[in-house]
Structure 1
Amino acid sequence: MAAAAATAGRLLTLCGTASEVRWLRLRGAGLSRTFLQLSSAGAGGGNAIQGRQVSHFIFQPDPECQEYGQTQKMNLFQSITSALDNSLAKDPTAVIFGEDVAFGGVFRCTVGLRDKYGKDRVFNTPLCEQGIVGFGIGIAVTGATAIAEIQFADYIFPAFDQIVNEAAKYRYRSGDLFNCGSLTIRAPWGCVGHGALYHSQSPEAFFAHCPGIKVVVPRSPFQAKGLLLSCIEDKNPCIFFEPKILYRAAVQQVPVEPYYIPLSQAEVIQEGSDVTLVAWGTQVHVIREVASMAQEKLGVSCEVIDLRTIIPWDVDTVCKSVIKTGRLLISHEAPLTGGFASEISSTVQEECFLNLEAPISRVCGYDTPFPHIFEPFYIPDKWKCYDALRKMINY
């Protein structure tokens, strides 16, 4: 992938500030260095963790949480490693497996775990996603804890049958005599700035149509560790999508000891009165910027909700907010048609129809394969979201 970027030569990336849209020319050889830059707000250095400019958004860390004891500065992949380390230490039946997992994985999320826990608990598999998930189902059925890694979410589709027709239905078809609820499937997810067709997809909607599994997407290192530990200990098979653009760019203080964030509970991360903004994963940081722009430019107060769990999703929190604000904007990277924003929109339409002041707006990716050099045009960035919000306000 890096070689392809270098060969491509120049990449044009659309960058915006509050007052302008300009073109930056990035050369392939320096792509990884140039794509992740400290924002001007955080350029002063020091120990304080600042917002960080990442491609089309600014990562804003969560407030430091002292509730769970000692914390350590971690990026997102390190918080994943910490969660896996906690699970292996706590549960002697837990095993981690997947392509290149033994040496740390392509994103280094399992680095050091084989040396610490041994090759019988952290090991490689053949390059066969169907086999990885099928193997994980078998391990989970015996009562052990199976943590499978699919190297990219784009490659999860060969395992679709195993997930949808086996893992999701195992408990139901056996009348709860058997289950594989101790299976968790991890996969890097979403855009990364240069991933193109096969390293950028957001396939959560494919699995949202499947009763029997849970689908989770975190927005930050703190959220990632707490949600992943909850997935691992949940009694249902879970798919945990990790925003790979945040692996190194998202940095914040994360508790060293285990802690748990409840699944199927959305979080209101900013209260407001005029518009409800809903997203998950990377897109949460986009709509947080949109909320700031709306307040500054329009005097509009936005309530920002991180859905966190895609299925089963927190209907009550979203509807409660929409009843208050009367307007809803939903944004995700995946294509518009059939995206999970459609499900949220339909449910809110049914539950909150008389409270709506404007049609529900969906700001999503285009109905095309994920492009390479045209990724900046494809991404539902803050400018697209802001334009949709302004139309809602003026409806």
Structure 2
Amino acid sequence: MENFHYILEKENLTRESKIIENILKDNHPITNLNNKKGLLFSNAILTKFIENEAKHSSHNLTKKEKRSIRTFSSGEQKKALLKYLLQQNPDFLILESPFESLDRNSVKELKEKLINLSKEITLIQIISRKEEILPVITHYFEIENDNINTIIPIDNYSFTDDVFTFNFNIPKPITFYKNIPNQLISLQNVNVSYDENHILNNINWTITKNEFWQLIGPNGSGKSTILSMIYGNNIKAFGQEVYLFGKKKGSGESIWEIKEKIGYFNPSMLELFKRNTTVKEMVISGFFDSIGLYKTPSILKEKLAIEWLKLLDLESESKELFQNLSNVNQRLVLIARAMIKHPPLLILDEPLINLDDKSTAIIIALINKINQESNTAIIFVSHKSIKNLQPNSIYKLIPSQKGSIGKIIKSN
């Protein structure tokens, strides 16, 4: 008897959606899953195990291991969670964005495991992107009023590529930097290791004004290490040939003097902004590099913030609370916050994580536009290539036993 396997799109679920909960509680119209036991495979479930391990020293996922689940790579963590769930002998699994945060090899390995698993149990996959869909999927759920309305064969489901454009130009800067050299960042023969763990091996990479770089590499290849040497306070950068805006790191310039020349965004920043800050105040706070707005801005700064919100089609949301925005709109606002001073360098660290196809297209369109209409150099960090992104060059980290080596690839 053929197993049926299902998908539903994450963007069709509201924040308050109880569809997953209802399926697990046997409150659903999926007749072949009536009175069946289901479990959820998701980042949220994995996070709960990690938190319990930290709080209560419970090692449910790593009973036979001698190290914490926190020390595992993203791929290893998901492998351990899947193994644990299967030990509970479920009849079906709900897979919520199972490939998020994984590099190409980890995605391939997990896909193979799930395809083999599909011969034994039913899979329900919640997807954010078309490329994630497992080839074993037979049907999709059509959602209406936060309920499963109909179940339709996958052959009848049409996917469209999302293309997005902005109607206004990038606002002009009112902040101007002095004495910025053409060579913004230079790493020369940089090596990093922690005890016996080699991270970077003889890295040579130079970033000059107006360039658009994509930094790629699998999980654990050293992308975060490189960023911490540029933007953070990684002590491994001191004593090496690391030059930031014309000065060798550790030669007297403080970390704050470096950061004021760099705009930075990482989705984890969303956890920092829990205060009752309006959308306009959030954009303006980029002038002061603050979490929230504690200074009275000039009329000119307020005007520029509104121009950015107009570009993002969020002008009508200017007085709304930032935390009430959708996921993608929060990211747009924080990228505008990072760009409002038109810094010499903009670092975007995995900005597309946990976004669906439509939201991904919006963020990519904004990044390409910033590249085309400003003089800010960009470093876009990801663990894989990104469709429709338009970098000038790619710096690829390739793992080896002696640490990752770097390779420059010219983008088409």
TM range (shorter): under 0.3
Please, what TM-score do these two structures have when normalized by structure 1?
Answer: 0.28
TM-score, normalisation: structure 2: 0.27
Bigger radius of gyration: 2
Which structure shows the bigger proportion of residues in helix conformation? 1
